[in-house]
C-alpha cells in the first residue's frame, strides 16, 4: 500500500517535472494557448482586427490619434515609442481604458545596440564569436527594455553577395553557416533565458525572404532566387533563428520570383509555418502590404490586404489596409474567420509569453544605460570585429613609446559616423573616437592631428599640404579612412564601392612621404580598396565600430591585443566583380593563372581563341581581392597534423576532423579556425567550398591546441531542387585559416 502511495507521489512529481521542463522557456504552451483561446472568445471582430495593426505615432498623425486608437482597441502594437514613462502612459490606456485591457507590444529597431552602440552587425560577424555577439544583444535588450521596448526588429539575417547594397552593413555577410550561428546567438541574446523576464525582448528575424539579393544592389529591388539557393543559402539563418525560438518574423519588401515577399504563401505558409512549425507571428515590413499595389501584385488596398492575409502576414506595420478592409474581405469570403483567429492567436501567444498581461509596464527605476560593463563589452566586441588585412614588416603594433604619431583623416574624430547605420538611440556625445583614445593612450602632445578632409566625400584638397607636413614630421602616420554612416544602411546603396571623396588621393600622398603608413578603414560595407591596400604598410578594416570604436582601435594599434577578426564577406577588386562569393560553383571552365591573360598583355594581333576561354575577366582576373575568412594577426599560427577519424562516413555516423594549431609568433592571440568541405559530385552542381564549422581559440605564445570538427551526414545535406539529400560520394575537407588555404584531407560518404 505504502509503496504504492510513494509510487503515485513519485509519478505526480515526475509528470509535473516533465511538464515544467517541457514548457521550458515559454511558460507552458498549453496554458498559454488556453489563455489565448479564452481571450479570443471574448473579442469582437473589431478588436481582433485591432490586434493585427501596428501603428507608428508619427505616421498615424500624432499622440492624440495614437491614444484614441489604443483606447478603442484598434491597434495591437506601437513602434517607435520609447522612454519608460511614455510607454507606460500608452500602455495604461491599453490596459485600463480599452474594453479587454489587452497590452500593447512595443517595438523598435534595436539593431546593434541601444544607447551603448555595438559595431554594425557586419562588423560583429567579423568577430566569428557567437558568445560575444550573444552578450552584445543581451546588453542591448537590457538597455532597450529599460525604456519600455519589448520587441526588436532584429536580427537582420539576410544573406547578400552584393556590397553595393547598403543593408549589407546590417547583415552577417555572405555565408549561411556563419550567419546561422550568429542568428542563433542574436536571438538567444535578445530573448534571454526566459521570454517573460522583463529584460527579454521578442526577436524578429528579418527580412523574410530574399531581400539581400536585390538586383544591382539597389534596395527594395526584384529578386530571382532558385529554390536550391533559397533553401541552401538564404533560408538557412532564418531556420536557425526559428530553432533558437525567434518569436516573430518580418516579411520583406522585395518581389521574390514574381511574388512579393509580403504576399508569399510559399515562404510564409508553406516553409515557415508548415515545414518549420513556427508558432509566433509574422509582421509586414513598413508599408510593405500597401506596396503590393506598386509591385503590380494587388489592384488596390483591399486586394493587397487579402493577398497578404492569405499568405500569412498577421500584423500590418503602418499601412492601414487591414483595418480598412478586413470586414469587407470576410463578407466577400476572400479571407476566412479562421485565418483572422489564427493570426490573432499567434499575436496574443507572443504577448502572453512575454508576460505582458501580468507585467505590462516598464520599470522606471530599471534604467541601465551605458554601464561600465556594457561599455567594456562594446570595446571587446569592436576589438574582435576589426580585421587586419595587411601588415608589412610588422608595421603594427606601434610602440606606446613612439615619439610622434600623425593622426589624419575624416573618420579619426567622427563620433556619429563611427556609430554606423540603424542607430536611433545611440548618442554621438557618448562615442569615444580614435583620436580621443589615441591621445589618451600615448599622451596629447605626441599626437599631431590633421583632419585634412572634413567628411568622407570631401574632395577639397586644401589641407593636403598640412597633412603631408604632419606625416613627414611623425614617426608613423595613421589615416582613418572610410564612409560616413549615411552611405550604408537602408536605401543607401552605391554603384561604385571605392573610398569616397579625395581620400584615396591623400593616402597616396601620405604613402609617398615614406613614413610608416597605417590605414584604418571605418565603413559600412566591404569597399574596393586594392589601391589603398597597395599604398599602406598596414591596413586594419574596422567597419563602423560603435560607441567604443576608438578605445578598441587604440588597444589594437598599440598592441594591447592582436587583431583577430576574419572577413565575413569576400572583398572584390571593384564593383564590376560583383557577385563574388567563396562558395561559388566551379563552372565547366574554371580559370587559373595559366589561362588568364591580363588585359594589358593582350597583343594587338591576338587570335579569337588565344585568351583562354576560361571563366574570368580580362581586367580583374578570376580571384577576389581578399577571400572570405581572411584576417591576419600580430602573431603567426601554424596549422599541422590534419587527422580524420575515418576515411568514410556512413548514415547515422560521425567523422571527426582535427588539426593542431600552434602559436609560432611572439604574442598571445586568438585565431578563428575554419573547417570547409567540398562535395565533389552532386545531383546538382555543388559549391567549390562550404564552411561547416569554426572555432575561435586563444593561444599563448608557443602554445598549441588540437581543434576538432565533427562532420555528420546532416552537415553535408543540401536541397537538390526536389528534396534534401546527402549523396554518397567523395568529399574534400580543409581545416584552414581562411577559405583559400589550409590543410587538406579527403573522405567519402557511403
Judged by the rule CB under 6 A, the positions of this chain that interact with ligand BGC are: 109, 153, 206, 285-286, 490
State the minimum distance, in angstroms, from the CB of residue 109 to ligand BGC: 5
Three-state secondary structure string covering 700-746: CCCCEEEEEEEECCHHHCEECCCCEECCCEEEEEEEECCCCCCEEEE
Nearer to ligand BGC, 128 or 286 (CB): 286
Query: 151 φ, ψ to 5°?
Result: -150, 125
Nearer to ligand BGC, 285 or 740 (CB): 285
Tell me the C-alpha distance between 538 and 519, whole Å: 6
Question: Would you tell me how many other CB atoms lie within 10 Å of the CB of residue 215?
Answer: 13
Q: Under a CB-based contact definition with an 8 Å cutoff, are residues 119 and 381 in contact?
A: yes
Nearer to ligand BGC, 116 or 214 (CB): 214
CA-nearest of 188, 169, 180, 178 to 128 is 178
State the minimum distance, in angstroms, from the CB of residue 595 to ligand BGC: 43
The cell numbers describing 22, all together, are 517541457
Nearer to ligand BGC, 191 or 616 (CB): 191
Q: To 5 degrees, how large is the angle CA 258–CA 261–CA 262?
A: 125
State the minimum distance, in angstroms, from the CB of residue 195 to ligand BGC: 20
Tell me the C-alpha distance between 419 and 113, whole Å: 10
* Residue 143 C-alpha from the chain's centroid: 20
Nearer to ligand BGC, 212 or 627 (CB): 212
The cell numbers describing 277, all together, are 512549425
State the minimum distance, in angstroms, from the CB of residue 153 to ligand BGC: 3
State the minimum distance, in angstroms, from the CB of residue 457 to ligand BGC: 24
Q: Which residue is nearest to ligand BGC (CB)?
A: 153
> Of 285, 368, 413, 738, which one is the catalytic site residue?
285
Give kind and range of the element (H or E) at residue 48.
helix 45-51
Nearer to ligand BGC, 43 or 157 (CB): 157
User: Is 285 an active-site residue?
Assistant: yes
Q: Under a CB-based contact definition with an 8 Å cutoff, are residues 206 and 157 in contact?
A: yes
State the minimum distance, in angstroms, from the CB of residue 222 to ligand BGC: 16
Q: Under a CB-based contact definition with an 8 Å cutoff, are residues 175 and 570 in contact?
A: no
State the minimum distance, in angstroms, from the CB of residue 111 to ligand BGC: 8
The runs of H, that is alpha helices, within 107-165 are 121-126, 130-145
Peptide bond into 731 cis (omega under 30): no
Nearer to ligand BGC, 33 or 490 (CB): 490
Q: Under a CB-based contact definition with an 8 Å cutoff, are residues 659 and 637 in contact?
A: no
The cell numbers describing 329, all together, are 474581405
Phi-psi category of residue 515: left, alpha or beta, with phi > 0 → left and psi -120 to 50 → alpha = beta
List the catalytic residues: 285
Amino acid at each position: 500500500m505504502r509503496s504504492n502511495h510513494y509510487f503515485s507521489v513519485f509519478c505526480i512529481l515526475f509528470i509535473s517535472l516533465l511538464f515544467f521542463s517541457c514548457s521550458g522557456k515559454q511558460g507552458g504552451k498549453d496554458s498559454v494557448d488556453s489563455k489565448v483561446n479564452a481571450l479570443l472568445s471574448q473579442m469582437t471582430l473589431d478588436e481582433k482586427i485591432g490586434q493585427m495593426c501596428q501603428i507608428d505615432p508619427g505616421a498615424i498623425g500624432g499622440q492624440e490619434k495614437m491614444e484614441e486608437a489604443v483606447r478603442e482597441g484598434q491597434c495591437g502594437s506601437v513602434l517607435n515609442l520609447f522612454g519608460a514613462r511614455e510607454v507606460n502612459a500608452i500602455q495604461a490606456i491599453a490596459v485600463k481604458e480599452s474594453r479587454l485591457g489587452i497590452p500593447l507590444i512595443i517595438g523598435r529597431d534595436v539593431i546593434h545596440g541601444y544607447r551603448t552602440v555595438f559595431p554594425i552587425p557586419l562588423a560583429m560577424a567579423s568577430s566569428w564569436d557567437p558568445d560575444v555577439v550573444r552578450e552584445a544583444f543581451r546588453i542591448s535588450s537590457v538597455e532597450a527594455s529599460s525604456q519600455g521596448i519589448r520587441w526588436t526588429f532584429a536580427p537582420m539575417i539576410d544573406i547578400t553577395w552584393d556590397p553595393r547594397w547598403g543593408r549589407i552593413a546590417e547583415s552577417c555577410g555572405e555565408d549561411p553557416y556563419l550567419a546561422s550561428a550568429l542568428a542563433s546567438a542574436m536571438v538567444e541574446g535578445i530573448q534571454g533565458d526566459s521570454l517573460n523576464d522583463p529584460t527579454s525582448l521578442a526577436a524578429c528575424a528579418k527580412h523574410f525572404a530574399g531581400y539581400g539579393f536585390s538586383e544591382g544592389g539597389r534596395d527594395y529591388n526584384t529578386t530571382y532566387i532558385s529554390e536550391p539557393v533559397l533553401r541552401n543559402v538564404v533560408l538557412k539563418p532564418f531556420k536557425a533563428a526559428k530553432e533558437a525560438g525567434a518569436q516573430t518574423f518580418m516579411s520583406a519588401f522585395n518581389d521574390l520570383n514574381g511574388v512579393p515577399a509580403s504576399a508569399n504563401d510559399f515562404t510564409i505558409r508553406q516553409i515557415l509555418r508548415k515545414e518549420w512549425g513556427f508558432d509566433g507571428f509574422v509582421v509586414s515590413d513598413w508599408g510593405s502590404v500597401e506596396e503590393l499595389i506598386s509591385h503590380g501584385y494587388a489592384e488596390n488596398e483591399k486586394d493587397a490586404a487579402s493577398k497578404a492575409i492569405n499568405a500569412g502576414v498577421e500584423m500590418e506595420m503602418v499601412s492601414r489596409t487591414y483595418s480598412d478592409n478586413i470586414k469587407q474581405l470576410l463578407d466577400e469570403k476572400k479571407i476566412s474567420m479562421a485565418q483572422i483567429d489564427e493570426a490573432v492567436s499567434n499575436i496574443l501567444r507572443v504577448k502572453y509569453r512575454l508576460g505582458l498581461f501580468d507585467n505590462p509596464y516598464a520599470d522606471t527605476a530599471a534604467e541601465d544605460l551605458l554601464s561600465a560593463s556594457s561599455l567594456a563589452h562594446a570595446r571587446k566586441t569592436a576589438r574582435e570585429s576589426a580585421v587586419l588585412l595587411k601588415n608589412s614588416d610588422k608595421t603594427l603594433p606601434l610602440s606606446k613609446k613612439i615619439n610622434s604619431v600623425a593622426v589624419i583623416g575624416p573618420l579619426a574624430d567622427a563620433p556619429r559616423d563611427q556609430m554606423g547605420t540603424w542607430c536611433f538611440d545611440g548618442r554621438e556625445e557618448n562615442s569615444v573616437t580614435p583620436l580621443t583614445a589615441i591621445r589618451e593612450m600615448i599622451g596629447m602632445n605626441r599626437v599631431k592631428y590633421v583632419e585634412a578632409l572634413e567628411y568622407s566625400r570631401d574632395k577639397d584638397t586644401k589641407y593636403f599640404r598640412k597633412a603631408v607636413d604632419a606625416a613627414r614630421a611623425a614617426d608613423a602616420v595613421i589615416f582613418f579612412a572610410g564612409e560616413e554612416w549615411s552611405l550604408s544602411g537602408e536605401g543607401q546603396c552605391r554603384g561604385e564601392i571605392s573610398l569616397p571623396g579625395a581620400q584615396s588621393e591623400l593616402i597616396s600622398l601620405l604613402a609617398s612621404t615614406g613614413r610608416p603608413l597605417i590605414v584604418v578603414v571605418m565603413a559600412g560595407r566591404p569597399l574596393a580598396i586594392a589601391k589603398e591596400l597597395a599604398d599602406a604598410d598596414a591596413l586594419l578594416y574596422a567597419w563602423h565600430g560603435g560607441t567604443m570604436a576608438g578605445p578598441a582601435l587604440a588597444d589594437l594599434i598599440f598592441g594591447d591585443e592582436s587583431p583577430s577578426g576574419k572577413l565575413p564577406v569576400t572583398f572584390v577588386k571593384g564593383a564590376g566583380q560583383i557577385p563574388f562569393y567563396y562558395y561559388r560553383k566551379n563552372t565547366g571552365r574554371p580559370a587559373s593563372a595559366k589561362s588568364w591573360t591580363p588585359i594589358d598583355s593582350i597583343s594587338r594581333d591576338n587570335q579569337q581563341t588565344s585568351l583562354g576561354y576560361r571563366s574570368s575577366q580580362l581586367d580583374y582576373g578570376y580571384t577576389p581581392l581578399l577571400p572570405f575568412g581572411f584576417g591576419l594577426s600580430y602573431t603567426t599560427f601554424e596549422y599541422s597534423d590534419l587527422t580524420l577519424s575515418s576515411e568514410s562516413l556512413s548514415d547515422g555516423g560521425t567523422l571527426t576532423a582535427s588539426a593542431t594549431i600552434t602559436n609560432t609568433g611572439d604574442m598571445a592571440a586568438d585565431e578563428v579556425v575554419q573547417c570547409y568541405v567540398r562535395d565533389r559530385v552532386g545531383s546538382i552542381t555543388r559549391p567549390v567550398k562550404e564552411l561547416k564549422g569554426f572555432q575561435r581559440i586563444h593561444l599563448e605564445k608557443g602554445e598549441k591546441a588540437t581543434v576538432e570538427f565533427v562532420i555528420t551526414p546532416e552537415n553535408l545535406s543540401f536541397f537538390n531542387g526536389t528534396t534534401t539529400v546527402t549523396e554518397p560520394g567523395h568529399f574534400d575537407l580543409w581545416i584552414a585559416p581562411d577559405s583559400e588555404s589550409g590543410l587538406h584531407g579527403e573522405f567519402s560518404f557511403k
